Amino acid sequence: MKIVVTKEIKDEDKRVAITPDTVKTLVKAGFDVMIENGAGSESFISDEQYVKAGANIVSGAADLLTQADVLLKVNPPSLKEIDSLKSGCVVISFLYAFNNKDIVDALVRKNISAFSMDAVPRTTKAQRMDALSSQASLGGYKAVMMGANALGKIFPLMMTAAGTITPAKTLIFGAGVAGLQALATAKRLGSVVEVTDIRPGTKEEVESIGGRFLQVEGDDSVKVEGGYVKEVSEEYLRKQKEMINKHVADADLVITTAAVLGRKSPVLISAEMVETMKTGAVIVDLAAESGGNCALTQVGKTIIHNGVTIIGERNLPGLLPQNSSEMYSRNISTLFLYLADNEGFKWDLQDEITKGCLITHKGEIVHEATKTLFNT
């Protein structure tokens, strides 16, 4: 099988799907690896490094895509890329099928089997394939760095001859992978950190890292699936906003990470709440691309509203392309080598991992959740 990797084209993403170390593994396993020239340049990987690892470098993506038996990507393939692929090809990438019906429909029409990295089951068995977690961890780290850079004060307590500087206060919405990494990073920098999350079991994790957990009593409307909140009532969100309102007003840095599977992200910080914040405070909204947790977030932009800086960067892991590519490469290669060997794909549709992340196959949608959503 010919494995093809092209340069990412979405929003100037600097990541690349595989690194030279992964190329060595795939070549050793008996696969031909073909990479578009310059595909890894923005992740600080030269064509020469890929060649040394055993890959073939090809100029331009158009001809390369027509040769692919397997296309490995970070972002979902574009409609133009799908059109260039041959029938029966396999694509493995982030797909976000719930939000990309046109892409899923194109994959079905072209008879392309697509595995989605964001649909890999979040189980112990699939842990090394969990690209959502690896990228979210880097996003949580980068959120604190961006917040610290935009903040007009230092994070730690500092006692000087000129007086004592009190530590900055950080408030984090969400104790998932990104939130916990943000908590750990902010604590290392000396900030006092508070965290709020509606999922059961997160309090222990937060407190074990040194954060203060802000808790709202849950109700039966809170549904969690695969580590993400699938459903939550408006009443619960109202109570949460009331509880954290004063904490938002007192925070120097607020980081939001709340995502709802397949839906627009909930608005946790209203425009009115922003008005109560300190002049010079900063909000970093990790959910910007899926609608934003702050009502005033502008996707891909940093704005200042009433003295509060609101950062709506859409792709924080992409700002750390060297590390994010290394981690993603391990994730996607582990999944690929689980699904296939040099004789072909196993197509074990009863296997938990295969069934969990296979979206399209043999000209139809086979992923039950995606099929149900598109038919409603």
| Catalytic residue numbers, as ranges | 122, 127, 130, 133, 228
CA distance 216 to 206: 15
CA distance 321 to 324: 5
Tokens of 44: 């600080």
CA distance 29 to 336: 11
Backbone conformation region of residue 291, classed left if phi is above 0, alpha if psi is from -120 to 50, else beta? left
Tokens 């922003």 correspond to 274
Cα 282 to the chain's mean position, in Å? 21
CA proximity to 11, closest of 338, 363, 312, 362 = 312
Residues near 234 by beta carbon (within 8 Å), at least 6 away in sequence: none
CA distance 215 to 14: 38
